[in-house]
Structure 1
Amino acid sequence: MRTVEGRIVESTGSWYEVAIFDEINQSEGTIEARLPGRFRLDDQQVTNPLAVGDYVELSLNEDGTCSIEDIKERENYITRQATHGRQGEQILAANIDQAFVVQSVRKPKIKEGFIDRFLVTCEAYQLKPVILINKMDLAGEEGQAYVDELIELYQSLDYTILNCSIFDEKSLENLKTHLKDKTSVFIGPSGVGKTSILNHIDPNIERKVADVSDYSNKGKHTTTYAKLLPLYFGGYLVDTPGIREFGLVNIEPWELSLFFPEMLEPRQHCKFNNCTHSHEPKCGVIEAYENGEIDAGRYHSYLQMLDSLKK
C-alpha cells in the first residue's frame, strides 16, 4: 500500500476522481477513489462531506483500488442551502481563490436577487466574488444600458463586475487575465453559458453544452457534476451544474446587514441594537434607503433574504 496526496477533481456520488501528486507536488494523473462511510456520518448538516477542490490523503492498494483516508482542512469553501427537501448545506467547491456568479443578459435574463444572495455568501465566507454578465451579443441598446447600470452599482460597492460574449475575443481575453494562475469557480443558473465560456477560453476543454429552451426561456442542465478543470494558461476552474436557487445557510437574521457593504455605516445609527432594518423607528438603514443612499433593488433583495431567514 502506498500513501499519496491528491485533490478532488470530480464527485459522482460515493466515488471520486482525484488528481494525485508525487513527493514534489507534480501531477501523476487521476485515479478513482472511494470515500469510506465514516466520513458521511461525521457531519449530518452537510449533504456532501467531500467537495471538488478538497485536498485529501489516499491509500493506493496493491489490488489497484484506492480509498480516501483523510480530508485536509479547508482554506475556504462556498456553500448553499441543500435543495429537494434535504436538510443542511451543500458545499459547491472548496479551496478556491475567487468565485464567479455568472448571469446572462438574455435567455435567461439576469436575476439580481441571485447575484445578491451569492454576494452575501461570499461576504459571510470571506471569499472574493466576481460578477460575470454573459451573452452581451444579445443585449441590444436596452440590455447594454441595463448592464451599464449594474456595473455602476456593483463597482460603487467595490465588487468586480465583468461582461463578455463568446463572440467577443477581447472580453474573453480580459476574463482570462482574471482567471490566470488562480483556482476559480463558475456558479449560476442553467443556460447562462458557463460551459460555453469555458470551452472558448481553453481549446483543450470540450464540455457538453445545450441550447436554452425556447418555451420556458430557461437553461437545460448539461453539466451534471462539478469538475475541477486545469486551464492551459495557468490556474483551475470549477465548472458547476446550473442551479436555480441560491439559498443562504449559517446566517442569522440579525447579522444579514453585516454582509451588505452599503449598510455597515448606516446601521450604526439605528436606535435599537437588534434592529432588522425593515420596519423599526429611527433606523439608520431605512433612513439611508429613503434618502437614496442605498439602491432600491439592493434593499428589496435584503428584505427578501431577511424574510427567508426568518422562516
Structure 2
Amino acid sequence: MQGLIIKATGSWYHVLLDDKRMVSCRLPGKFRLSDEEVTNPVAVGDNVSVDLQADGTGIIDQIFERKNRLVRQATHGKKGIQIIAANLDQILIIQSFKKPAFKTGFIDRLLVSAGANEINPVIVINKSDLVRNEKDENKITELEELYSGLGYPFFAVSIYDRESIDRLFDGMKGKLSAMTGHSGTGKTSILNTLNPDLNLKTGEISNFSNKGKHTTTFAQLFTLADDTYVVDTPGIREFGLVNFEPYEVSLFYPEMKVLRESCRFYNCTHRHEPSCAVIEAFQNGDISESRYRSYVNIVDSLAS
C-alpha cells in the first residue's frame, strides 16, 4: 500500500494510506544507515510504500523521490541535517508583530533556504491587532513594501480579523504549505482559526523571556479543505543553513542575484572585496540596510 506521512514522532510514523486508512508505521534500520548526513530519513509530506503487518501496524519499505525538502541543522548536539518537511508547495514564514517581536534576520534565513530548495516562501506577520499607533502602522507598511518589492507574498494577519485570515487561506488553497517560525508567534492559533475543528492546544508567552513556549513538538500534517493541506512544525529558535558556500548566499537574495554578475570575483562574498557591485548598490541605497546586514550575518555564520 502507498500512503503519505502525516505525523512523525521519532520512533513511529503515522501514514494516511491511499484508501484513507490511518496506520502507525516503523522505519527499518537500513534507511537510517543509508544516509549518514540525515538524522531522519523520512519526514512529514513524504510519499511512501507500506508493508502492512498482522498486528495492524506497518513497515515502511520504500520512500519515493521528493520534489523538495525543507531542512535545518540537526539539534541537540547531533551531527548532520534534519528534514522538517518534504514535497511542499510553499512555506509560510510566521512571525508576530509583537510578543515576541519579529526578526527580519530569521525571515531572511528562511527565504534563502526556501529558495535553495525550490520552495515558494510566503511571509506572514501575525498579531496585527497589536498595532497601536502610526509608528506601528509604518513599521508594517515598510516591511510589506520591502518584501513585496522583492517578489515575496506578504500577509499581515490577526486571528481577530477574519478577513485577514480569509486572505491567507486564499493563498493556501490547493497547496501543501508548511508553517514555520519561532515559538509563540501564533502558528497554532492561526491553524485553529483556519479550521476550528482542529482544536489544537495553544501555548503562551513567557513573562520572563518574552518568548514562546513550545506546544508543537512534532511536525504534523492537517487538512484544511479537500485540496488544501498544511504542516505545523515545531517552533524554531534558530535556523542554521546547511550545504552552503558563503559566496552562494547572494544567489538567493533577489536584489543581489543580477548585481553579483558584475563583481570582479566570481566567488565574491560582497563584504570587503574590491569592485563589488553589491557593496556599491548598498552604499547607494539600492539595497536595504536590514537585508544587507542579515546577508552579512548569514555569510559570517557560514564562514566561521
**Which of the five TM-score ranges fits, normalised by the shorter chain?**
over 0.9
Cα contact 1:57–1:68 (8 A) shared by 2: yes
Q: Does 2:126 match 1:111?
A: no
Aligned equivalent of 1:309: 302
List structure 1 runs of 4+ shifted beyond 6 angstroms. none
How far does the alpha carbon of each residue in 1:4-42 deviate from its partner, in whole angstroms, 9 at most, with x for none?
Answer: 0010011111211110113xxxx2x21101111111111
Cα contact 1:134–1:165 (8 A) shared by 2: yes
Among 40, 45, 61, the residue aligned to 1:53: 45
Instruction: Tell me by how many angstroms 1:281 deviates.
Output: 1.3
How far does the alpha carbon of each residue in 1:76-113 deviate from its partner, in whole angstroms, 9 at most, with x for none?
Answer: 11111112222111111101111010000000000111
| 1:167 aligned counterpart, secondary structure | coil
Among 254, 277, 292, the residue aligned to 2:285: 292
Q: Does 2:119 match 1:127?
A: yes
Aligned equivalent of 1:6: 3
Cα contact 1:136–1:144 (8 A) shared by 2: no
Q: Does 2:157 match 1:160?
A: no
Identity %: 52
Aligned equivalent of 1:207: 200
Among 131, 135, 143, the residue aligned to 1:139: 131
How far does the alpha carbon of each residue in 1:116-148 deviate from its partner, in whole angstroms, 9 at most, with x for none?
Answer: 000000111111000000000012222221111
- When structure 1 is superposed on structure 2, of 110-119 and 248-257 the one drifting more is 248-257
- Compute the TM-score of the two structures, normalised by the length of structure 2: 0.97
| 1:204 aligned counterpart, secondary structure | helix
Distance 2:33 2:136 in 1: 48
What is the number of equivalent residue pairs in this alignment?
303
| 1:231 aligned counterpart, secondary structure | strand
Among 8, 13, 17, the residue aligned to 2:14: 17
Instruction: Tell me by how many angstroms 1:233 deviates.
Output: 5.8
Q: Does 2:261 match 1:264?
A: no
Among 196, 216, 234, the residue aligned to 1:223: 216
Instruction: Tell me by how many angstroms 1:64 deviates.
Output: 2.5
How far does the alpha carbon of each residue in 1:265-300 deviate from its partner, in whole angstroms, 9 at most, with x for none?
Answer: 221221222221100111111000000011111000
Cα contact 2:247–2:269 (8 A) shared by 1: yes
Cα contact 1:117–1:248 (8 A) shared by 2: yes
- Compute the TM-score of the two structures, normalised by the length of structure 1: 0.95
Q: Which amino acid aligns with 2:42?
A: L
Distance 1:206 1:240 in 2: 16
- When structure 1 is superposed on structure 2, of 104-113 and 203-212 the one drifting more is 203-212
Cα contact 1:7–1:19 (8 A) shared by 2: yes
| 2:171 aligned counterpart, secondary structure | helix
Q: Does 2:164 match 1:171?
A: yes
Q: Which amino acid aligns with 2:291?
A: R
| 2:137 aligned counterpart, secondary structure | helix
